Amino acid sequence: MAAPENFPKMNSRWKLRPNERRTLLLIMDLAIAILSLVISLYFWARGDQWLDFSWEFLKQRPPGWFFLLPVFWIILMVELYDDRRSADWRETLRGIATAALVGLGLYLIIFFFYRTPKTLPRRGVASFFLTVSILTLAWRMLYIRMVTSPQFLRRVLLVGAGETGQTILKIAKEVNPPPFQWVGIIDDDPKKIGTLIERLPVFGGNDKLLEVVAREQVSEIIVAISGEMQGSMFQALLDAQELGIIITRMPIAYEELLHRVPIRHLEADWILRSFVDQAHVSYFYELGKRLVDILGGMIGVSLLIITLPILAPLILIDDGWPIFYIQQRAGKGGQLYWIYKFRTMRTNAETDGQPKWAEENDARATRIGRWLRKTHTDELPQFINVLRGEMSLVGPRAERPELVDWFQKYVPFYRARLLVKPGITGWAQVNYGYASTIDDTVMKLEYDLYYIRHRNLVTDFVIMLRTPATVIGFRGR
């Protein structure tokens, strides 16, 4: 079914996709941070009794690191580049306030412990954080108004009203604020045509697709057909694409919405394409990741050496020997290795020898162990595993081989997480936390597989930046 010659082409120029929104946010945030730096320098210079705002002032007064404040601000704002947080004004207000307070707090710590605090620019730093907070908040409020307005939302048509299609409908409707506007459904099943599914009308089969696209001003089509697609439907989708309509498969839409992989709605060939053909990484990424691991491992081991004289006596007084907990874990490719942690459980925590999930306020934990687990301080010895190359700073959580064998019987594609080294932190850890049920394990695996598909040094860096919020929030068990 070819499109008529006079059929109008759709313009989706202003219907921004998630990655385009993040790029816009980053560019504007950086521009505003640079403007704030200029404003803070101006007011700092106006208070200078000798030089005023001049080239001599810029050469003599601001230290070199002062000009890096815009980059530091972007780092502090990392949580607000999440699609949902960036479109929520409460999360935006909280994120900007937190970034400003953390930035000023770190500066005050340096100021009071620095040997010659008079050389540190109090007025310039205070002016920057005040200015950048106000301007960023104003810009972000404008952004929220823009991306939540109907004229800027993508108008999406769903093709396929089966289980897979209904899953993406339910997920999209639970996301707040709404990521796009649903206009309806196209499905070739005669029993569904004319009915409502999730309160959306099924307009008709593939013969109605182009008509619906024009009438409803559709900018994107999400295809949720899990089985074999009819040739006429395939041709209708090609015709729509020629008209400028974006065609997105359900797994890709799922990833964009939740930053997870929908493992319950995937077939084996998709996994093969994603993790055999598409998930290869370059030698330079592997080299860069290893160098970062060595640097991070050295810092982590230094922290371990500093804290060991404090934590070791506390563990001994609380529950006696041993101080460290050593256990086998499954690494990359299923290769076994010994992991090191501070002991947080009683010595007889698993009397029957069967592995058990960690629970909230686990009764098996010692008194000091509960605090160590809440703050993730018990994981400091794992930096030894990082230096030895058995683990990475970022990756899926290391799991016991017995649990890996058990999970793969009940969780689809579970062994795919063994394609990379386990990590001290990871995409699943910063987004979800611990698993205590099969459903939790499925959820974490969806995050892990998303990371494996999209891993790069920038993603690793973002995960490491988001990890302190997990520690400060006491999200451990």
Q: Say how many Å lie between the first and final Cα of the chain, rounded.
A: 58
Q: What per-residue confidence (pLDDT) applies to 335? A: 93
Q: What is the DSSP letter of 273?
A: I
- Whether a cis peptide bond, with omega within 30° of 0, leads into 177 is yes
Name 223's bridge partners: 159, 249
Q: What per-residue confidence (pLDDT) applies to 33? A: 96
Domain coverage including residue 358: 283-472
Structurally, how many domains does the chain consist of?
3
Q: What per-residue confidence (pLDDT) applies to 72? A: 93
Q: What per-residue confidence (pLDDT) applies to 474? A: 46
Q: Domain for residue 237, yes or no?
A: yes
User: Are 108 and 161 part of one and the same domain?
Assistant: no
User: Are 72 and 217 part of one and the same domain?
Assistant: no
User: Are 187 and 311 part of one and the same domain?
Assistant: no
Which domain CATH number covers 193?
3.40.50.720
User: Are 131 and 169 part of one and the same domain?
Assistant: no
User: Are 57 and 107 part of one and the same domain?
Assistant: yes
Structure tokens at 472: 């400060």
Q: What is the DSSP letter of 175?
A: S
Query: How confident is the chain (477 residues) per 10-residue block, as mean pLDDT?
Result: 51 66 92 94 71 66 86 91 86 92 84 62 86 95 86 90 91 84 93 92 94 92 87 93 91 90 76 63 89 96 94 87 91 93 78 60 77 87 96 94 89 88 93 81 92 90 85 52
Question: Which of 113, 147, 181 delimits the end of a domain?
Answer: 147
Q: Domain for residue 174, yes or no?
A: yes
Question: Which of 94, 118, 147 delimits the end of a domain?
Answer: 147
Q: Domain for residue 9, yes or no?
A: no
Q: What per-residue confidence (pLDDT) applies to 116? A: 55
Q: What per-residue confidence (pLDDT) applies to 222? A: 95
User: Are 329 and 234 part of one and the same domain?
Assistant: no
User: Are 65 and 158 part of one and the same domain?
Assistant: no
User: Are 247 and 333 part of one and the same domain?
Assistant: no
User: Are 137 and 163 part of one and the same domain?
Assistant: no
**Cβ 419 vs Cβ 452: under 8 Å:** yes
Q: What per-residue confidence (pLDDT) applies to 415? A: 87
User: Are 237 and 336 part of one and the same domain?
Assistant: no
Identify which of 352, 347, 351 has the alpha carbon closest to the alpha carbon of residue 322: 347
User: Are 453 and 359 part of one and the same domain?
Assistant: yes
Would residue 69 be called left, alpha or beta, if left means φ above 0 and alpha means ψ between -120 and 50 degrees? Answer: alpha
